Structure 1
Amino acid sequence: MSEQPVLLPYTDPAFVADPFPLYRRLREEGPVRRAVIAGGLEAWLVTRYEDGLAALSDARLSSDVRDASDPRLMQQLPSTERESMVSNMLRSDPPDHTRLRRLVSKAFTARRVAEMRPRIQEITDRLIDELLPTGRAELVADFALPLPVTVISELLGVPLDDRHEFQRWTDDMLLRRAEMPDPAVVDAAWQHMRAYLTGLIAEKRARPGDDLLSALITARDEERRLNEDELIAMAFLLLVAGYITTVNLIGSGVAALLAHPDQLALLRDDPELLPGAIEEFLRYDGPVNPGIARFAREDVEIAGVTVPRGATVLIASAIADRDPSRFADPDRLDVTRRDNAHLAFGHGIHYCLGAPLARLEGQIAIGTVLRRLPDLALAVRPEELDWRPGGLRGPARLPVTFTAADGHRPGFTPARDVTGSAPGEVAPFGTG
């Protein structure tokens, strides 16, 4: 293992567009590597599949950022309310994690999510209907973003007219490039978000509805199963996590198919392959990149390497999911792949709660695009696509053309951004 940490070059457009050649080299050089990641933070990358799988279930690796020795991790959170910002199930460990997750787990079971299929299809078709006459779209802003935003807003009971506001604040809090975030911008965004959520909760208390947020308020007020800070943190987490990764799953999945026309043809010819294709998109180029962060409670040995107490451990699912010791021909996109137990949703007690919903939205979205947008093609050269760096990965914009409803296929001009700002990239905390 190299004594000096390797730099993940987020300022290099070539790396941002295709990080996988460097990832492959890191995996070949060693199972655990020190690296400088987004924001100049240092982490220990776990690069191989079996080691990553074990690490995700290792109780010595905490999800609580307060166990980290690097003070810059806490400094990325709003200065006035850092404790409340980590009062959510993503950043907690048992017993708090168990209690908080139990409050919302029933809303995301496979059965409950399957009942949402007709409504998700209805939203999807409406968005496609708006695109059909034009023969062109910016598929992220016009489709991949508004679909999951609408779904999670309806599930929580958040007015859809407010989406522009909470998307902008989310971007300000979570947007990442190579540099550290501006604390003043993060603080201002969180103050706006907290004020918005506090007002929304007050409205729901006065006029509860048949939605998840109203149910959480009941759990807070009548059953005392969470406190007010936890209620606000839970609302924030569900709202943001409910759309931000699914946008990238849809965008990256469509981009992958356009780059592999043979796989696109397979999927168009046999829609029954779609559920397995979603798993392949998650493995091949999933939205969490490089991976999922944990923090060592004590000195921990991983694959023969001692990781010191307080260190950030980045379980690099994006690298491990192309480990040739686990996946045959891992750098090849194969929508017919069957053995596909990827780590994109994590593993263990923090396995992504929203995985059934993300899968369903991905299937409906991509399946409908392939079915209803004939002659789909990129409107720019593949190397001109702009990819988001750090934390989350996906195309920032995906300009496409297709045969319009009247049979005319015009040249591309950028479509209007109908949803406000595009989703940002999260700091390397992961979504496990």
Structure 2
Amino acid sequence: MTTTETPGTLARILDPSNRADPYPLYAELRRTPVAPQEDGSYVVSTYREITELLHDPHVSSDLRNQTRPVPSAVYTEGTQEFINTDPPDHDRLRRMTMRHFGPPHSAGLVDGMRPALTATIGRLLDGLADKPQIDVVDEFAYPFPVGVICDLLGVPPEDEPRFSQWVIRISELVDYNPSLDPPEKLQNGTQALGDLHKYLGGLVESHRSRPGDDLLSRLATDDGPDGRMTDEEIVTTATLILFAGHETTVNLISNGVLTLLRHPDVLQRLQSQPDLIIGVVEELLRYEPPVQIVPWRAAYSDVTIGDTVVPKGAQIMLMLASGNRDPDRFHEPDRFDPSRPDNQHLGFGGGIHLCFGGPMARLEVQIALTEFFRRLDNPQLVTDPPPYRRSPILRGPLHLHVGQG
């Protein structure tokens, strides 16, 4: 019979003061793979159980199926993206997006971006070359994916500064805590989201009348087997691509720089064996995943997980970062090993909601880390551990100061 996990373990994981190293707490949590909480939710922390639930058709991703109220910073009626929907709506919208985002219909899209990505990284590093100290987050990891996604969507270069400001304000909603933050933070983020949606709606109309070789143009003019997306569906899909792609990539780059500087032996191998970067990024997705928790799943009906029955509508929290360090699945899980065999990590989730932007994120981070350590002169950590963002869901440094020379 499953019992509640050690009192306070989840609360300590969610506590920002433990953000720098939550992994001992995840190990404590794994003693009870499926842990019921006092508020009626269930926390799942082991690899096998997480994987089963990611593939279980009885588990819903639709936030409207939650019996507990979802915070307004997470969900607002009428703004549902397909990552928070279930089949058949999810499958239809995902198919319609993937036709223009990857194989089999757009097989060369991601790899064709390699020259542009390398050039963008080069320009960023040119501006950092003479600085004795840089903030990897603010000056490197953060601006890179915004520019990439703007180019992918077809945002005019002159509008990128406005786009970046909206991203900053909306991203703060991820860390919003009504007991700690002023209400203006929520209001500003919500206003920015509304402004972004209005802007994207106008851009969709413009691209439909004068289509180009960009994702918004393709979505606005495509009449494929599933028909055409509505303007609202295009806007919410573009918003999903922007934030899922941006936040994941920022954290993955920042965590990558930090992890490699903490493991000079691996960094030395990478510098002498550039092809190792593929294994480095995959191991980063396991060892320091940018998305640590999937917090809002619900059961369509009573679901049995191990020897625990989760009742219909109960909130289910999937602790991806814990599953990635599960010793029953990974040998020496707390060791950073880019040569790890059979590295089927949970860094991009799994099942029907497996991150469809994963190939692009992988390529961005491979190029970013390779060029960062090739171009910078003897980079060294200034502060370790760095300060972290408050969010336990999207975990990454708030700032990462690195000296060079």
Normalised by the length of structure 2, the TM-score is: 0.90
* Per-residue deviation, 1:102: 1.1
Residue 62 of structure 1 corresponds to 60
For residues 347 and 40 of structure 2, what CA distance do their matches in structure 1 show? 22
Is the 1:136–1:401 contact (alpha carbons within 8 Å) kept by the matching residues of 2? yes
Residues 227-279 of structure 1: per-residue CA shift (max 9 Å, x gap): 23212211211122221110000000111111222222222222111101101
For residues 364 and 121 of structure 2, what CA distance do their matches in structure 1 show? 9
For residues 356 and 130 of structure 1, what CA distance do their matches in structure 2 show? 27
For residues 135 and 209 of structure 1, what CA distance do their matches in structure 2 show? 42
1:130 aligns with 2:133: no
Residue 409 of structure 1 corresponds to none
- After superposition, the Cα gap between the structure-2 partners of 1:35 and 1:334, relative to the gap in structure 1 and judged at 3 Å, is farther
1:18-417 to 2 correspondences below 5 Å: 18-27=21-30, 29-35=31-37, 43-71=41-69, 73=70, 75-77=72-74, 82-86=76-80, 88-106=81-99, 107-109=101-103, 111-159=108-156, 160-177=160-177, 179=179, 182=183, 184-219=187-222, 224-291=227-294, 293-380=296-383, 382-403=384-405
For residues 258 and 12 of structure 2, what CA distance do their matches in structure 1 show? 23
Is the 2:175–2:389 contact (alpha carbons within 8 Å) kept by the matching residues of 1? no
Aligned pair count reads 392
Is the 2:42–2:314 contact (alpha carbons within 8 Å) kept by the matching residues of 1? yes
Query: Which stretch of structure 1 is more off in the superposition, 207-216 or 4-13?
Result: 4-13
For residues 384 and 84 of structure 1, what CA distance do their matches in structure 2 show? 38
For residues 61 and 369 of structure 1, what CA distance do their matches in structure 2 show? 41
RMSD: 2.5
For residues 138 and 377 of structure 1, what CA distance do their matches in structure 2 show? 12
Is the 1:296–1:307 contact (alpha carbons within 8 Å) kept by the matching residues of 2? yes
Is the 1:323–1:330 contact (alpha carbons within 8 Å) kept by the matching residues of 2? yes
- After superposition, the Cα gap between the structure-2 partners of 1:299 and 1:46, relative to the gap in structure 1 and judged at 3 Å, is same
* Per-residue deviation, 1:44: 1.6
- After superposition, the Cα gap between the structure-2 partners of 1:385 and 1:174, relative to the gap in structure 1 and judged at 3 Å, is closer
- After superposition, the Cα gap between the structure-2 partners of 1:75 and 1:12, relative to the gap in structure 1 and judged at 3 Å, is closer
- After superposition, the Cα gap between the structure-2 partners of 1:336 and 1:94, relative to the gap in structure 1 and judged at 3 Å, is same
Is the 1:57–1:348 contact (alpha carbons within 8 Å) kept by the matching residues of 2? yes
- The one-letter code of the counterpart of 2:96 is L
- After superposition, the Cα gap between the structure-2 partners of 1:250 and 1:223, relative to the gap in structure 1 and judged at 3 Å, is same
- The one-letter code of the counterpart of 2:149 is I
- After superposition, the Cα gap between the structure-2 partners of 1:42 and 1:115, relative to the gap in structure 1 and judged at 3 Å, is farther
* Per-residue deviation, 1:384: 4.2
For residues 269 and 138 of structure 1, what CA distance do their matches in structure 2 show? 26
For residues 334 and 67 of structure 2, what CA distance do their matches in structure 1 show? 35
**SS of match in other structure, 2:297:** strand
For residues 263 and 129 of structure 1, what CA distance do their matches in structure 2 show? 25
- After superposition, the Cα gap between the structure-2 partners of 1:347 and 1:149, relative to the gap in structure 1 and judged at 3 Å, is same
**SS of match in other structure, 1:148:** helix
- After superposition, the Cα gap between the structure-2 partners of 1:94 and 1:137, relative to the gap in structure 1 and judged at 3 Å, is same
Residues 335-361 of structure 1: per-residue CA shift (max 9 Å, x gap): 221221001111111110000001001
Alignment gaps of 5+ in structure 1: 404-432
* Per-residue deviation, 1:177: 4.8
For residues 145 and 282 of structure 2, what CA distance do their matches in structure 1 show? 18
**SS of match in other structure, 1:108:** coil
**SS of match in other structure, 1:391:** coil
Normalised by the length of structure 1, the TM-score is: 0.84
For residues 148 and 192 of structure 2, what CA distance do their matches in structure 1 show? 23
- The one-letter code of the counterpart of 1:174 is V
For residues 374 and 267 of structure 1, what CA distance do their matches in structure 2 show? 16
For residues 378 and 129 of structure 2, what CA distance do their matches in structure 1 show? 12
* Per-residue deviation, 1:76: 3.4
For residues 275 and 329 of structure 1, what CA distance do their matches in structure 2 show? 20
For residues 356 and 275 of structure 1, what CA distance do their matches in structure 2 show? 12
Is the 1:84–1:230 contact (alpha carbons within 8 Å) kept by the matching residues of 2? no
**SS of match in other structure, 2:222:** helix
For residues 331 and 35 of structure 1, what CA distance do their matches in structure 2 show? 27
Is the 2:9–2:25 contact (alpha carbons within 8 Å) kept by the matching residues of 1? no
**SS of match in other structure, 1:364:** helix
